Amino acid sequence: MKITLTELARKLNGRLEGNQDAIIHTVAKIEEAGPGSISFLANPKYEEHLYTTQATAVLVDKNFTPRQPVAPILVRVAHPYEAFVEVLRLFAPPIQRVGIESPCFVGKCVHLGKNVYVGAFSYIGDYSHLGDGVKIFPQVFIGENVTIGEATIIYSGARILDNCVIGRRCIIHPNAVIGSDGFGFVPQKDAHYEKIPQLGNVVLEDDVEVGANTTIDRATMGSTIIRRGVKLDNLIQIAHNVEIGEHTVIAAQTGVAGSTKIGKRCSLGGQVGIIGHLNIADDVKIAAQSGVGKSITTPGQIVQGSPAFCINQYRKCYVLFKKLPEMYQKVQVLSSQQIKRNSEVDTGGAG
């Protein structure tokens, strides 16, 4: 793709400083950019790269003042990072594939909407419904009675099991598994475990994104629900009957145990663990590697640690924790001195 800076600035509602006829054909990081590319400067700590970059143009804040002359053409915008995301969208190639490749299996009474794409070696079970513009890449498995909303994209290797409901404009990345059995077993007297049938499903509302190798278990009864706008990273485990509120984001290697309810607009860092049957309030932030063992009922709270608690208290405790070896040595010295004094007193008394 090629675009003039004049046209690009118009799309971004920006103001140019430099050659308006210059042409951009790629995007790049500011420190790696070359001729014909556009980059951005949003964080002041990277300003030094502005004076050495080979980029043809750089997006900067509308009020930014350079400390020295710059070679690139400046495109002044209200929010450089958000504007750069818009540029990335312009350069992202749209998926143009349409039709059913061969070989693949399409079961009985399957509804395929307009402009649907089904890649080779995919399987679509009986009574499933694919909305307009759905894109199914090769080697995808879709079980029976699955509903997939319009413009959803499912990448290779993903598995959508029976009775699951996927909303509109969702993106499911390679090897994600949606609708596998929940981890439910009843311990028996002879120490073996009896499997609990998992009869529910998974519901993804509109605009949900599920990362590669993430697994979302079907409910024992009812539905595991991922609400509108949720973004799940790679390698996440969501257990049966969990509900995740609108626009919550969860980073990689997080595990959420069964029947936990997470509120709206929450942020969970990588490797967070949450036990089952908890309630997490709206707008809560959980720092990476935290272990949550009780409900968080205060909206907007930020927690860290294992067990997790208020991040400000955690930081104070961590300062003390780092000093424990030094404090231990001091205690040992004081203890030795006290023992010596006691011994001297005892010896003096005996004389």
Residue 174: asked if its preceding bond is cis (omega within 30°), the reply is no
In DSSP terms, 78 is beta-bridged to: none
d(C-alpha 174, C-alpha 8), whole Å? 33
Q: Do 278 and 242 meet the contact criterion of CB atoms below 8 Å apart?
A: no
Q: What angle do CA 246, 279, 286 make, to 5 degrees?
A: 70
Q: How far is CA 277 from CA 16, 161, 256, 260, 293, in A?
A: 54, 24, 10, 4, 10
Instruction: Note the Cα 2 to chain centre separation in Å.
Output: 31
Annotated catalytic residue within 192, 240, 247, 277: 240
25: annotated active-site residue? no
Q: Do 239 and 215 meet the contact criterion of CB atoms below 8 Å apart?
A: no
Q: Is 92 exposed, middle or buried (0-12, 13-18, 19+ CB in 10 A)?
A: exposed
Percentages of the chain per state (helix, strand, coil), in multiples of 5: 20, 30, 50
Q: Which residue in 194, 196, 208 sits closest to 160, CA to CA?
A: 208
d(C-alpha 12, C-alpha 86), whole Å? 8
Q: Do 36 and 115 meet the contact criterion of CB atoms below 8 Å apart?
A: no
d(C-alpha 274, C-alpha 254), whole Å? 8
d(C-alpha 32, C-alpha 23), whole Å? 18
Locate 82 and state its tokens. Answer: 């958000």
- What 3-state DSSP class applies to 349? helix
Q: Which residue in 269, 276, 261, 266 sits closest to 299, CA to CA?
A: 266
Q: Count CB neighbours of 141 within 10 A.
A: 19
Which residues have a catalytic role annotated?
240
